[in-house]
A and B are shown apart, each in its own frame.
Chain A
Amino acid sequence: MLSRLQAISVKVTDPFVSLSLVQASRSLQTSSQRLAPVPPLPDHGGKVRHGLIPEELFEFLYPKTGVTGPYMLGTGLIVYLLSKELYVINHETIYAICIGTIIVYGVKKYGATVAAFIDSINEEKVAKAQAAKDSHISFLTEAIENEKKEQWRVEGRGMLFDAKRNNVAMLLETNYRERQHMVTNEVKRRLDYQIALQHLNRRLQQEHMINWVEKNVISSITPQQEKESIAKCIADLKVLAKTTQAKAAA
């Protein structure tokens, strides 16, 4: 409203008049100059008695005239208007009574239902917004829980790595030992071969020597020696036969 006043005052050529206009209206503004946040509306309207007369009138008259004061005032007013013929009873009065009855009856009978229906329209709006908010909150809570689970899973990752590490170490160890075995076996094979070779050499040498010695001995045996040895053998045999015979006879 102030901006509108200023816009109007721009058209006024005299700057003093426009300034004084703005300043003059400032004193009429009683509420605090604040646009946001909008102050909350009261939940219920002002209290009324008999649907028409505000409760403030009854409270105003109570100290001086008590409870029946306003009713006496109303009755007195109506009687005054009627008696002085300030209000004339005519056909409209009858109609007024008629339509008044209809309106009061309608409000009394259907008032609560209509009010509940209108409140339900507003409540549906609030419920929709609340449902959206709730679903979002539940979605976020689920996301938090999932995140926590993932963090817990990450803790177990260390154990997994340890196990894998052990696995790999075992494989390496096994591989190393296998290779060591292989190396030992190969070396033993080569050494065995060398030993066998040496044995073979020895045997061959021995056999060769034996053969040579035999050959030499056999070639060195003269026929004379041969006859003598044979005669000796026969003599020995005869002796032996005699002894055995003797033993047998004894």
Chain B
Amino acid sequence: MLRYQQFIVTKHSSHPVILNKESRKTPRAVNVDLQSDATLQVDISDALSERDKVKFTVHTKSTLSNFKQNEFSVVRQHEEFIWLHDSFVENEEYAGYIIPPAPPRPDFDASREKLQKLGEGEGSMTKEEFTKMKQELEAEYLAIFKKTVAMHEVFLCRVAAHPVLRKDLNFHVFLEYNQDLSVRGKNKKEKLEDFFKNVVKSADGVLVAGVKDVDDFFEHEKTFLLEYHNRVKDASAKSDRMIRSHKSIADDVNRIASTLYTLGTQDSTDVCKFFLKVSELFEKTRKIEARVAADEDLKLADLLKYYLRESQAAKDLLYRRGRALVDYENANKALDKARAKNKDVLQAETSQQVCCQKFEKISESAKQELIDFKTRRVAAFRKNLVELAELELKHAKGHLQLLQSCLGVLKGDT
């Protein structure tokens, strides 16, 4: 039974849509705006974390006739999501769309390592300390777990919300086929192939990007996205570091609270009351600090990470268009040459037409996609920044109240 909350923004609404997910047992509270996606609603209703893999239960509700039922669920693993994403990327038909970025691989390594270390160090600490640390690590594990579920869900929802991608056959198979898709992760050879492909692609990308675009809109977008992507990357890294420091502080305060408690119980003088009261206070405030870190992570770091990936996807779109443009121009040149030599003219003409169509098709949809990207981005940032500020305020006020009440008691005692 997992509860998690996240954000997605549909293509058609200008306001963010919040989907509250609860466990299957309770009714799903959905807050949709304007265009209801009743035709196709996808979510991850459950997830199970096993030793080295996570099993997601993908739940679909649809009125579309393609599906055999109106409501059904399947179990999918991370590799299957990647397979789906890659199939979109490789599909020429979708060249003109921003492909929703693939969710990152679930990474429990750090958490698992910590849990293991804790197990090893069990002998060296008191029972209370051990239980406390265990609880914390479990909470951390749960948080990472929730995040990975959220990211996989966002991917699916984006696909479901896209007017073209939602019709994709692979997508339907993914949603409906309740057997294992027999998709295996890439083996070493394939990973190496991918690596080379990427190298070639980035080299090509530089070439293509160097070509000045006639269209102002796209030229502007190119410059903008390049810079934006880099800066988001930087901001994402810095926000991660900031949040890690916050977590460290919460851990320190936790240790301080424990030691103060011991001091308080040991001390025979007047000051023992102080120690105990402050220990109690720090126990509570450290929880708040941990929540602040977690909320910043969710509202700020995750936001930046997501838009890092999306801006990359947008860049990829621009690259494809640029590539198509270069191809088109080359085809034009080839046609001219063929006409001049009067050799293979028909072939050249067909080739040129194909390139032209391709290019125009991409350009048309790309423009809309990029505009939507901006809309989504602005809305998501707005929502998250507002929520971030509200949560920071809430926590600070709670923290302040605890401090003041403790001070009141202590000052009264002296």
Determine if chain A interacts with chain B.
Answer: no
